[in-house]
Amino acid sequence: MLPPGSVIGMIGGGQLGRMSAQAAARLGFLVHVFSPEPDGPAAQVAARTIIAAYDDLEALRSFAEAVDVITFEFENLPAASLALLESLKPVRPGAKILAISQDRLLEKQFLNDAGVATAPWAKVESLAELEAAVAELGLPAVLKTTRLGYDGKGQAMLRAPEDLAPAFEKLAPKPLVLEGFVDFAAEISVMVARGVDGTIVCFDAVENRHKHHILDLTIAPAPFGPEILEEAQSIARLIAETLALVGLLGVEMFVTSTGALVVNEIAPRPHNSGHWTMDACPCGQFEMHIRAVAGLPLPPAMRHSDAVMKNLIGPEDMALWPRVLATPGLIPHHYGKTEARPGRKMAHFNRLFPKGALPGEFGIEDALALAEKS
Ligand code: AMP
């Protein structure tokens, strides 16, 4: 258990690092950020920032020497960098978990080996292999890069045979993975944390709605019956246990039209779909993350309120900022980014509701008081 005054090393300087650093400060820790970007969201609130590339081993070494434990908000660190960090200080979650979550093929293989359902999938290295995979999985299907894809980038929907060759050409690096199309009723996610002592705590499953492939709204809890919600949590627990996770992990799942759960991907760090916990839980995802990596006890992932989280993305949403501030009941979280480029996550807000009083399907926009955009 790290005492107050200890230093937590954070790889990555974005908003997830910023909000982790804010939670760490409340627990009496200092955060050192390692980021290629000067003045990023995390650097603005961190005790110290090292600005260097993720493959700068010299800089990583002096970063590691100055901290007590290392964690991250950005998981695509080169393997050699991770190996160096692990030789110097505890890295939580560890390199094995990062390797799995960085690579969709390893991730799906790991999940299936653990008995967790995913979309049917096939590895694709050539156009001939893609044709064979489509013959097996059928159309529509989704072709994805195995690495570095996010927010719908690095993937293509295949609807007709003529879509195969252009999609195969366009997507890089190879190999790719073909996934059978999941006819989903909703996308949900669960945040799970596991402590150094093996304690596992799991936040409630939530529904995520996307706009232009980017998360727009999170609805907590997800509007499904207890069976589906509890199954989602047991899948998340099983993944955390099987990985021997120390830290926090997000599990994104599809609820199929028949009510089955299919895991899409895992992210071993705080997650945008966990931002609702900042205000609706006594111990939110960022504090839980810091507690887990610092060896502190993990309190129950209790939810005291229902919540809707709304992302504010790019200049269009940021035009609403004055209104967000003027609307009672909206809890704002700004990431400190100066330039609101299209598609860039700039801020979010949470709106809380008494437990059980989440507005129904058609009331959510009104409840956010953003129905008519100014
Ligand atoms: P991902 O980059 O894997 O998170 O995928 C981005 C989005 O594409 C998901 O949130 C889904 O809306 C959609 N998607 C991804 N994979 C599939 C699939 N196998 N079937 C249906 N929709 C998918």
Any atom of ligand 1 within 6 Å of the Cβ of 54: no
CA–CA gap between residue 41 and residue 39 (Å, rounded)? 7
| Peptide bond preceding 175 in cis form (omega within 30 of 0) | yes
| Peptide bond preceding 226 in cis form (omega within 30 of 0) | no
Burial class (CB in 10 A: 0-12, 13-18, 19+), 75: middle
pTM: 0.95
Any atom of ligand 1 within 6 Å of the Cβ of 187: yes
In the reported structure, the alpha carbon of residue 317 is separated from the centroid of ligand 1 by a whole-number distance in angstroms of 24
Q: Looking at residues 246-263, what average pLDDT do you find?
A: 97
CA–CA gap between residue 79 and residue 91 (Å, rounded)? 13
> For 298-344, how does the pLDDT look when each residue is reduced to its tens digit (9 = 90+)?
999 999 999 999 999 999 999 999 999 999 999 999 999 999 999 99
In the reported structure, the alpha carbon of residue 143 is separated from the centroid of ligand 1 by a whole-number distance in angstroms of 10
Any atom of ligand 1 within 6 Å of the Cβ of 207: no
In the reported structure, the alpha carbon of residue 43 is separated from the centroid of ligand 1 by a whole-number distance in angstroms of 32
- Angle made by CA atoms 262, 266, 268, in degrees to the nearest 5: 160
Residue 362, pLDDT score: 72
Q: Looking at residues 243-263, what average pLDDT do you find?
A: 97
CA–CA gap between residue 63 and residue 209 (Å, rounded)? 38
Q: How many CB atoms lie within 10 A of CB 282?
A: 12
The residue to mutate among 105, 108, 145, 264, having the most atoms of ligand 1 within 8 angstroms of its beta carbon, is 264
Assigned fold of 7-91: Rossmann fold (3.40.50)
In the reported structure, the alpha carbon of residue 28 is separated from the centroid of ligand 1 by a whole-number distance in angstroms of 39
The residue whose CA is least distant from atom 7 of ligand 1 is 152
Any atom of ligand 1 within 6 Å of the Cβ of 149: yes
User: In this structure, are residues 35 and 49 in contact, taking their beta carbons and an 8 Å threshold?
Assistant: yes
Report how far apart, in Å, the C-alpha atoms of 107 and of each of 3, 97, 128, 202, 364 are. 35, 9, 24, 20, 34
Q: Looking at residues 281-307, what average pLDDT do you find?
A: 98
CA–CA gap between residue 303 and residue 186 (Å, rounded)? 21
Report how far apart, in Å, the C-alpha atoms of 258 and of each of 116, 184, 228, 251, 330 are. 17, 9, 11, 20, 35
In the reported structure, the alpha carbon of residue 182 is separated from the centroid of ligand 1 by a whole-number distance in angstroms of 8
CATH number for the domain running over 184-368: 3.30.470.20
pLDDT exceeds cutoff 60 at 371: no
Domains of the chain, by residue range, sit at 7-91, 120-180, 184-368
Least confident of 129-133, 135-139, 289-293, 361-365: 361-365
CATH architecture label of 120-180: 2-Layer Sandwich (3.30)
pLDDT exceeds cutoff 60 at 39: yes
In the reported structure, the alpha carbon of residue 139 is separated from the centroid of ligand 1 by a whole-number distance in angstroms of 15
In the reported structure, the alpha carbon of residue 119 is separated from the centroid of ligand 1 by a whole-number distance in angstroms of 10
pLDDT exceeds cutoff 70 at 373: no
Residue 374, pLDDT score: 43
pLDDT band for position 372 (50/70/90)?
A: very low
> For 175-192, how does the pLDDT look when each residue is reduced to its tens digit (9 = 90+)?
999 999 999 999 999 999
The residue to mutate among 134, 142, 159, 253, having the most atoms of ligand 1 within 8 angstroms of its beta carbon, is 142
pLDDT exceeds cutoff 80 at 96: yes
Q: Looking at residues 116-145, what average pLDDT do you find?
A: 97
Any atom of ligand 1 within 6 Å of the Cβ of 359: no
Q: Is 373 helix (H, G, I), strand (E, B) or coil?
A: coil
Parallel, antiparallel, or unpaired: how do β-strands 206-211 and 214-220 relate?
A: antiparallel
**Percent of the chain beyond pLDDT 90?**
90
User: In this structure, are residues 190 and 285 in contact, taking their beta carbons and an 8 Å threshold?
Assistant: no
CA–CA gap between residue 139 and residue 250 (Å, rounded)? 29
In the reported structure, the alpha carbon of residue 101 is separated from the centroid of ligand 1 by a whole-number distance in angstroms of 16
- Number of the ligand 1 atom closest to the C-alpha atom of 150: 2
Any atom of ligand 1 within 6 Å of the Cβ of 107: no
Q: Looking at residues 160-165, what average pLDDT do you find?
A: 97
